[in-house]
Chain A
Amino acid sequence: MSAEAPRPGSPRDMVAPDGKPLPQISAAMAPFFEAARRQELVVQRCRGCGALRFPARDRCSACLAREGEWVPVSGRGTVFSFAVMHQVYHPGFAAAVPYAVVLVALEEGPRMISNVIGVPPEALRVGMPLEVVFEAVSPEVTVPKFRVANA
């Protein structure tokens, strides 16, 4: 859903050792992935009005202020919705289908696309409590994912 262009020089088809695509990390999204390497989940907070937002934007759409900062969030959330992918859009997912893509509603408000680890697609439910985990998909890149949280 992010329309921003890949960072200049970022190859379009970089793949992780497991064959899945590495995230194309724009300059705007780089702090998110840098934080993930530190095992920290962050979202942007507007310095103008304090609204939280994700993914990265140049400006706050509420108050239009340009200034924003990345702030840590709890890593807790719930399944807001999910979709089970059956078609292979990238060869790296050929062995993974069917797999679920989950829209996570963070406790603090913003929503993010992710995967839930350890739950087969048919067992996923909207509203399931989640907590963040960090998966090193390559030596350089870590992506936040989620697992079911113990209540």
Chain B
Amino acid sequence: MPRHPLCGAAAIAGLGITAQGKVYGQSPLDFAVEAVSLALADAGLERSDLDGLLLNPGLAWTDFGMGSFQLQQAMGLRNLHLLANMSLGGATAGAMIQHAVEAVASGRAEAVACVFSDATLKPPRPSGERTSSGSAYGFARGWEAAYGFFGVNAMYALVAQRHMHRYGTTQDHLGAVAVAQRKWANLNPQAQLRDQPLTLEDYHASRWVVEPFHLYDCCLVSNGGLAVIVTSAERARDLRRPPVYVRGMAQGHLGGDPIETLSSGAVISAPAAFRMAGLRLADVDVVQLYDCYTFTVIVCLEDYGFCAKGEGGPYAAEHLGGPGGLLALNTGGGQLSSFYMWGMTPVSEAIVQLRGDGGERQVAKHDVALVSGNGGVLSTHSTLVLAREAGS
């Protein structure tokens, strides 16, 4: 089969991660400026080298529609050839990188920054009363409020409960994902929960948010920013850090109702991305699956073909032991235990691992990484296959 023209044509050359978590006093715009600056410095590029800017504005961005232009102005960027806000929920990070690769490969742009930032967490009040980011996270205030149906946690819980009913997925299976990822986070200096070990007993003892989800089934909320710089493979080779080549990429948005299919769009994006990459699932060394909930990981293990449909729970319990486990998955702790930058969390950890920058959590064989992004309630999906070599 002939090589896909875009396979390995572009690479991620810079990564910028601001402080993450309970970081106060910075606006989402300011986090974005900082993240892009860090990514440029990482790549060894100047602001004037950027000619493309893609932004996924988090919930705290108030002027949502023109956020990318706000960011351009805030950074004093001139003469851009590509500028857009993108919004596919957690699938956006992967989708931004895909558009950046296409822009670079077609010659429309030479260096594109892809950015996410958010700042929904507010500082604790002096009185010590509990603060909440809940208001930012989608209260379903329409007619369904009369039934006490609020928020995205509950929407996902319905789908998870259905999966448990149909396939026999258990609370222990969900807990296995949380425990394994925490073990990775315990080795990640940037993880919000680095210093908090988690056993399966701790998991079961943690409070319910909405059954079947305990507290540790749900991702963190983080203030911060994260940016990557995409440029051509040729140019990336001359820059400061080793290139992370984009070998395969695809999107999958199934439509319909995921509570019927219990599937993510990975069922169509994964084959397309691997075909483009000229690689198979067996070639993947490190796996970064979007984890808004433990349940999402279980579904995506199935949809990427690590196991058959419905067997994600038992597969996770057997294969995800954290460091030393059978599958190196969400090796920074993921969004459950490190930080929640929507799809940028899995993207950034893939870059860290492929470069060999993982420190204590570095995976020994780290040539190929699989990255997923998932938005809505299994509504939107993006897949990236990233590698240390451009391929031939």
Chain A positions near chain B (C-beta within 8 angstroms): 1-4, 6, 12, 16, 20-26, 29, 32-33, 55, 80-87, 89-90, 93, 96, 98-99, 101, 103, 111, 113-115, 121, 126-127, 137, 141, 143, 145
Binds A, one of B113-121, B157-165, B322-330: B157-165
* Chain A minimum-CB-distance residue to B154: A83
A2 to B139 Cα, complex, angstroms: 11
A90 to B148 Cα, complex, angstroms: 8
* Chain A minimum-CB-distance residue to B140: A1
* Chain B minimum-CB-distance residue to A13: B141
CB <8 Å contact, B144 and A113: yes
CB <8 Å contact, A82 and B158: yes
CB <8 Å contact, B147 and A84: no
Which residues on the A side are within 8 Å of B162 (C-beta)?
80-81, 126
In this complex, which of B158, B159, B162 has the most chain A Cβ atoms within 10 angstroms of its Cβ?
B158
CB <8 Å contact, B210 and A114: no
Main SS at interface, chain B:
helix
15 contacts between A and B (CB under 8 A): A1-B155, A4-B142, A21-B141, A23-B142, A81-B259, A83-B212, A93-B148, A101-B147, A101-B149, A101-B154, A113-B149, A115-B147, A127-B165, A143-B146, A145-B147
- Encode contact with A along B135-177: 1 for CB under 8 Å, 0 otherwise: 0000111111111111101110111011001000000000000
* Chain B minimum-CB-distance residue to A33: B143
A2 to B259 Cα, complex, angstroms: 16
CB <8 Å contact, A24 and B207: no
CB <8 Å contact, B161 and A87: no
CB <8 Å contact, B259 and A84: no
Which residues on the B side are within 8 Å of A25 (C-beta)?
143
Number of interface residues of B (CB under 8 A): 30
CB <8 Å contact, B143 and A24: yes
Q: A83-B210, A89-B134 are in contact. Are A24 and B142 (CB under 8 A)?
A: yes
Distance in angstroms from B143 CB to nearest chain A CB is 4
Distance in angstroms from B91 CB to nearest chain A CB is 19
B64 contacts partner chain A, Cβ-Cβ < 8 Å: no
CB <8 Å contact, B154 and A12: no
Q: A20-B148, A89-B134 are in contact. List 6 more A-B contacts (CB 8 A).
A: A1-B144, A4-B142, A21-B146, A82-B158, A101-B148, A126-B165
A1 to B257 Cα, complex, angstroms: 12
A121 to B208 Cα, complex, angstroms: 13
Which residues on the A side are within 8 Å of B142 (C-beta)?
1-4, 6, 23-24, 26, 29
Which residues on the A side are within 8 Å of B207 (C-beta)?
86
Which residues on the B side are within 8 Å of A81 (C-beta)?
158-159, 161-162, 165, 259
A55 to B144 Cα, complex, angstroms: 10
A31 to B211 Cα, complex, angstroms: 32
A130 to B190 Cα, complex, angstroms: 49
* Chain B minimum-CB-distance residue to A29: B143
Q: A12-B141, A83-B211, A98-B211 are in contact. Are A23 and B146 (CB under 8 A)?
A: yes
- Encode contact with A along B3-32: 1 for CB under 8 Å, 0 otherwise: 000000000000000000000000000000
Which residues on the B side are within 8 Å of A12 (C-beta)?
141
B209 contacts partner chain A, Cβ-Cβ < 8 Å: yes
In this complex, which of B143, B150, B259 has the most chain A Cβ atoms within 10 angstroms of its Cβ?
B143
Which residues on the A side are within 8 Å of B145 (C-beta)?
21, 23-24, 90
Within 193-217 of B, Cβ neighbours of A (below 8 Å) are at: 207-212
Distance in angstroms from A9 CB to nearest chain B CB is 16
* Chain B minimum-CB-distance residue to A87: B209
CB <8 Å contact, B144 and A121: no
CB <8 Å contact, B259 and A80: yes
Distance in angstroms from A144 CB to nearest chain B CB is 10
Distance in angstroms from A55 CB to nearest chain B CB is 8
A76 to B280 Cα, complex, angstroms: 48
Which residues on the B side are within 8 Å of A99 (C-beta)?
148
A40 to B142 Cα, complex, angstroms: 21
Distance in angstroms from A100 CB to nearest chain B CB is 8
A107 to B259 Cα, complex, angstroms: 17
The one of A84, A90, A111 that contacts B150, using a Cβ cutoff of 8 Å: A90
Which residues on the B side are within 8 Å of A22 (C-beta)?
146
A22 to B143 Cα, complex, angstroms: 8
A99 to B162 Cα, complex, angstroms: 18
Which residues on the A side are within 8 Å of B151 (C-beta)?
89
A141 to B145 Cα, complex, angstroms: 14
Distance in angstroms from A142 CB to nearest chain B CB is 10
The one of B134, B139, B141, B147 that contacts A113, using a Cβ cutoff of 8 Å: B147
CB <8 Å contact, B143 and A84: no
